[in-house]
Amino acid sequence: MNADQQHQLDELLSALCDGAASDTQVAALAKILEQSQEARRYYAEYLVLHGDLSWEMPARLAVADGGLAHADTGLAPQAPLASLMEPAGPALTWGAWIRQPWVASLSIAAALMLAVLATMGMLGMPQPGEGPAGAPQYVARMSRTLHCIWKDGGLAKADGADLFVGQELDLLEGTAVITFDSGAQVILEGRTTFRIDSALSGRLGLGKLSARVPSPASGFTIASTCANVIDRGTEFGVQVAESQDTRVHVFAGKVDVEVLSRSGHIVSTEGLAAGEGLQLLADSRKFEAAPALPAEFSREFPSLDDLPITPAYVKTIMAAKPAGYWRCEQLGSHVPNQVGPGYPARVVGALGLVSGAGNRALRFDGAGGYLMVDEAIEDFGRGDYSIEFWMLPEQFHYSTLISLHVPPTAETKAQYDHHGVIELQADTGVAARDVRRIRFLHRSPPGTAGGTNVFSAQRYVLQNWQHVVALKQADELKLYLNGQPVASQLEPSKFTQSPLLGIGRLVHPGTRADRPFRGMLDEIAIYKRALSADEIMKHYRLVENARQ
Amino acid sequence: MAEPPLPIADCVRELTSLQRPLYLYIFSLVPQPADADDLVQETNRVIWEKIGDFRPGTSFSAWAYKIAFYEVLTYRKRKRRESLRFSDDLVENLAAEVEGVLQDSTPRRQALQDCLGRMSEGNRQIVARRYLEGADVRSVAEQVGRSEKAVYHALGRIRSWLLECMRRRMAVEAAV
């Protein structure tokens, strides 16, 4: 084929794959294919590629929420048998479910085979998932992958992919960081086989992993054939050899190791402290002390080093003329406003300052410490406006990141009325929009109820830095996550009063609904204009590119 | 179900390990996802029904592809009234080519992984939305803020680039 023919073939095949080929184009394609064996080979390669990419598709299904396909609910490869035999929960249609290629992968005949075999006692019946109506329960997320090759392919295990109870991971090469919904994180190093068991546990079949467990996830457990390694607030590593010999290394804090008999009963429990380790022989279940060897493990968990704020980023933000820009590099009685002497943010309660390589960020411990700009931001919200920041949530919880409120008056007494908030939604809720979404509320006149909400189509994730921009442009509210628009809503009203600014908690004294944030915030900027989509993407890219 | 010629666990292993290539084989000849899925299910049912006909020592995949091909032909007969597309002869020739491509499944998948990792972030976004989220072109266009036409072109370019990248990668691997 010459270049023109190749180009024409590419166009026709692309149209075919995207369902856009007209009858004329199909006829033209047929003619080329009938005449050329080389074109037929190319067709085969092209369509197999298209199929390969489609095969990787199944982890996400469209649900009736905002029209975007995302991962609130869904089924994925290697789903338990129970989910193959009946339609999933009410959020899914049978049609959407059955169209997923993984259903084909273990379709009716294969499922029947397995059912027959299980009945005959020839195979262990797969454990049912924990979700309703057989739907997989997603309890973890792939936070970061580096040079990963998965045994079964792996686009569905790309960065950001949701992982479900019972999901088996077979990593041939590379490293992968998994963040569980409990906040615990593990780093797998190839070759390693690992199974997700719950938000608080996993099974290491072979290879090695390191785990870092924050206090809310205390009790997080890594199981192997001959031991359960139980976190007591720590960082540790586990290795499992082909022989199933298991070695435990404690890098910080403490762990308990339950030594298991062949029948799975606990025969003893050993407590280990930082620097200590244990070598356990699978054959005899004998064990002996062995020093922890931290250098043998990859321990580069996502951290503040993943938020490299360069001088170019700061310069770009300043050039965008913010009304206030709190870089969060210092923590005294106030956090200074980078733009000028006005609008310093007063520190209320306890806050932490976390240092990384070349950057610092504020840590909110969820106990109620927050920042307060006591001076009303003059004319903010009377026209277009934008609020921009970076966040790293440590748990799924209902919390306030930004509070735009007006001070109490004689009429409102002690009550703080709100013109707007940016919040994180918790892990549970009635509607999908309530679960793990970012909420942006614009309310005018200020009050304690009403207003217009937008909720992000995508969920926020734990233990990863995410870039958030909420803005109002003319009659529209828009929300951006990591440079991408994720929600919008019409709202013509403007603020009637210049608001005060609260950061890290709902400023609403006297009520129980303080909604304290637990996690880190950095580079908080507000603008009396709407940032453009290009500007937002540029700001996000400046950090993303500096990471690589 | 006929008497299996192999231990039943081996039959299960053969069939389950063939699910991805079987899907790719059928999808390459019937690139409509819903129809392809139905055909894979039907093919699995027929394979299991005829498992007793399989001769140990021969290629299980070749035998299964043959069954899949007949299922594709049956499907085409059923759909003939809806549209006149490729001739049966052409489909048979294409099936042979697809079977040839599928023989290199492991290096091809590794090459695909490698090439996906080399794509720009923008292109990766488009691929993820189109395939990972299963969005159609119009939805992808809305999500990435580009026109439908631009996304069609981008997807075409991405697939062509991926193929070229995979070919180069597989050639290097084969030469090592």
For residue A116, pLDDT beyond 70: no
Q: Across the interface, do B24 and A10 touch by the CB < 8 Å criterion?
A: no
Three-class DSSP category at A404: strand
Report pLDDT for A78. 27
Helices (H), A18-61: 23-35, 37-55
For residue A309, pLDDT beyond 60: yes
CA distance to partner chain A, nearest, from residue B49 (Å): 9
Report pLDDT for A68. 22
Taking CA A224 as the corner, what is the angle to CA A132 and CA A211, rounded to the nearest 5 degrees?
80
Q: Identify which of A19, A37, A49 has the shortest CB distance to residue B162.
A: A49
For residue A547, pLDDT beyond 80: no
Report pLDDT for B106. 79
For residue B42, pLDDT beyond 80: yes
> Hey, what are A527's tokens?
């603008």
CATH code: domain B105-175 is 1.10.10.10
Report pLDDT for A114. 45
CA distance to partner chain A, nearest, from residue B33 (Å): 7
- pLDDT tens for each residue of A500-520: 999 999 876 555 457 889 899
The answer to whether A252 and A233 have CB atoms below 8 angstroms apart is: no
Report pLDDT for B140. 84
Mean pLDDT of A446-457: 86
The answer to whether B11 and B51 have CB atoms below 8 angstroms apart is: yes
CA distance to partner chain A, nearest, from residue B65 (Å): 14
Q: How many CB atoms lie within 10 A of CB A120?
A: 9
Chain A touched by B87 (CB under 8 Å)? yes
Assess whether the region A137-296 and the region A304-547 belong to the same CATH fold. yes
Query: For residue B29, which residues of chain A lie inside 8 Å, CB to CB?
Result: 47
Kindly provide the b/e burial profile for residues A175-195, where b requires at least 16 CB atoms within 10 angstroms of the residue's own CB. bbbbbbbbbbbbbbbbebbbb
For residue A115, pLDDT beyond 50: no
Query: For residue A70, which residues of chain B lie inside 8 Å, CB to CB?
Result: 133
Between A174 and A433, where is the model more confident? A174
Percent of chain A with pLDDT over 90: 48
Three-class DSSP category at A511: coil
Q: Across the interface, do B160 and A16 touch by the CB < 8 Å criterion?
A: no
Chain B touched by A33 (CB under 8 Å)? yes
Report pLDDT for A404. 95
The answer to whether A181 and A140 have CB atoms below 8 angstroms apart is: yes
Mutate to test the interface with B, among A7, A36, A45, A486 (most CBs of B within 10 A): A45
Mean pLDDT of A522-532: 97
Amino acid (one-letter) located at A247: R
Nearest chain B Cα to A55, which residue?
Answer: B20
Torsions phi, psi of A275, nearest 5?
90, -15
Report pLDDT for A135. 55
CA distance to partner chain B, nearest, from residue A144 (Å): 13
Q: How far apart are CA B153 and CA B160, in angstroms?
A: 11
Mutate to test the interface with A, among B37, B110, B125, B140 (most CBs of A within 10 A): B37
Complex prediction ipTM: 0.92
Which residues are within 8 A (CB) of B148 and not within 5 positions of it... i.e. 6 or more apart? B137, B138, B141
Q: Across the interface, do B98 and A122 touch by the CB < 8 Å criterion?
A: no
* Segments of A107-223 assigned E as strands: 138-150, 162-164, 168-180, 185-198, 201-212, 221-223
Confidence grade of residue A482 (pLDDT, cut at 50, 70, 90): very high
Torsions phi, psi of A328, nearest 5?
65, 40
Angle between helices B88-102 and B60-79 (to 10 degrees): 150
Report pLDDT for A548. 64
Q: Identify which of B16, B85, B143 has the shortest CB distance to residue A110.
A: B16
Query: For residue B86, which residues of chain A lie inside 8 Å, CB to CB?
Result: 26, 30, 33
CATH 1.10.1740 domain residues, chain B:
8-102
Task: Indicate the range of A126-135, A190-199, A320-329, B129-138 predicted with least confidence.
Answer: A126-135
Of B153, B118, A385, nearest in space to B144 by CA: B153
In chain A, where the domains are located: 3-55, 56-125, 137-296, 304-547
For residue A100, pLDDT beyond 50: no
Task: Indicate the range of A102-106, A291-295, A501-505 predicted with least confidence.
Answer: A102-106
CB pairs under 8 A between A and B: 203
Between A422 and A156, where is the model more confident? A422
Three-class DSSP category at A13: helix
Confidence grade of residue A124 (pLDDT, cut at 50, 70, 90): very low
Confidence grade of residue A109 (pLDDT, cut at 50, 70, 90): very low
Please, what CATH class does the domain formed by A137-296 belong to?
A: mainly beta
Of A303, A254, A244, nearest in space to A277 by CA: A254
Interface of A with B in 109-168 (CB under 8 A): 109-110, 112-114, 117, 122-123, 147-150, 152-156, 158, 161
Report pLDDT for A56. 59
Task: Indicate the range of A191-200, A369-378, B75-84, B156-165 predicted with least confidence.
Answer: B75-84
Query: For residue B32, which residues of chain A lie inside 8 Å, CB to CB?
Result: 19
Q: Identify which of B19, B83, B166 has the shortest CB distance to residue A105.
A: B19
Amino acid (one-letter) located at A316: T
Secondary structure (DSSP) of chain B:
-PPPSS-HHHHHHHHHHTHHHHHHHHHHHS--HHHHHHHHHHHHHHHHHTGGGPPTTS-HHHHHHHHHHHHHHHHHHHHTTT---S-HHHHHHHHHHHHHHHTTHHHHHHHHHHHHHHS-HHHHHHHIIIIIS---HHHHHHHHT--HHHHHHHHHHHHHHHHHHHHHHHHHHHH-
Task: Indicate the range of A10-24, A401-415, A521-535, B50-64 predicted with least confidence.
Answer: A401-415
Mean pLDDT of A520-525: 97
Q: Across the interface, do B159 and A56 touch by the CB < 8 Å criterion?
A: no
Report pLDDT for A22. 85
| DSSP-derived secondary structure letter, A126 | P
Query: For residue A173, which residues of chain B lie inside 8 Å, CB to CB?
Result: none
Which residues are within 8 A (CB) of A350 and not within 5 positions of it... i.e. 6 or more apart? A365, A367, A369
Report pLDDT for A152. 76
Query: For residue A155, which residues of chain B lie inside 8 Å, CB to CB?
Result: 116, 128, 131-132
Report pLDDT for A302. 66
Q: Identify which of B19, B93, B136 has the shortest CB distance to residue A104.
A: B19
Q: Across the interface, do B156 and A110 touch by the CB < 8 Å criterion?
A: no
Confidence grade of residue A301 (pLDDT, cut at 50, 70, 90): confident
Report pLDDT for A53. 87
Confidence grade of residue B97 (pLDDT, cut at 50, 70, 90): very high
For residue A90, pLDDT beyond 50: no
CA distance to partner chain A, nearest, from residue B35 (Å): 9
Nearest chain A Cα to B84, which residue?
Answer: A23
- pLDDT tens for each residue of A142-195: 888 877 888 877 655 777 778 888 899 999 888 899 999 888 999 999 899 999
Confidence grade of residue A431 (pLDDT, cut at 50, 70, 90): low
Amino acid (one-letter) located at A396: F
> B8-102: which CATH architecture?
Orthogonal Bundle (1.10)
Amino acid (one-letter) located at A504: G
Q: Across the interface, do B116 and A155 touch by the CB < 8 Å criterion?
A: yes
For residue A392, pLDDT beyond 60: yes
CATH 1.10.10.10 domain residues, chain B:
105-175
Report pLDDT for A451. 86
Confidence grade of residue A457 (pLDDT, cut at 50, 70, 90): confident
Chain A touched by B111 (CB under 8 Å)? no
> Hey, what are A418's tokens?
């709100």
Percent of chain A with pLDDT over 70: 79
Q: How far apart are CA A217 and CA A203, in angstroms?
A: 16
- Residue A17 C-beta-side C-alpha neighbours within 13 Å: 30
Chain A touched by B59 (CB under 8 Å)? no
Mean pLDDT of B65-85: 80
The answer to whether A176 and A142 have CB atoms below 8 angstroms apart is: yes
Task: Indicate the range of A72-81, A100-109, A181-190 predicted with least confidence.
Answer: A72-81
CA distance to partner chain B, nearest, from residue A400 (Å): 27
Query: For residue A484, which residues of chain B lie inside 8 Å, CB to CB?
Result: 125, 143-144
CA distance to partner chain B, nearest, from residue A113 (Å): 7
Interface of A with B in 204-233 (CB under 8 A): none
Q: Across the interface, do A155 and B131 touch by the CB < 8 Å criterion?
A: yes
Please, what CATH class does the domain formed by A304-547 belong to?
A: mainly beta
Nearest chain A Cα to B165, which residue?
Answer: A49
Q: Across the interface, do A61 and B166 touch by the CB < 8 Å criterion?
A: no
Chain B touched by A34 (CB under 8 Å)? yes
Task: Indicate the range of A37-46, A248-257, B160-169 predicted with least confidence.
Answer: B160-169
The answer to whether A165 and A185 have CB atoms below 8 angstroms apart is: no
Report pLDDT for A19. 82
Q: Across the interface, do B159 and A154 touch by the CB < 8 Å criterion?
A: no
Confidence grade of residue A323 (pLDDT, cut at 50, 70, 90): very high
Chain A touched by B149 (CB under 8 Å)? no
Average pLDDT, chain B: 82
Report pLDDT for A23. 83
Between B57 and A335, where is the model more confident? A335
The answer to whether B68 and B39 have CB atoms below 8 angstroms apart is: yes
Amino acid (one-letter) located at A82: A
- pLDDT tens for each residue of B25-38: 999 998 877 788 88
Report pLDDT for A112. 44
Average pLDDT, chain A: 80
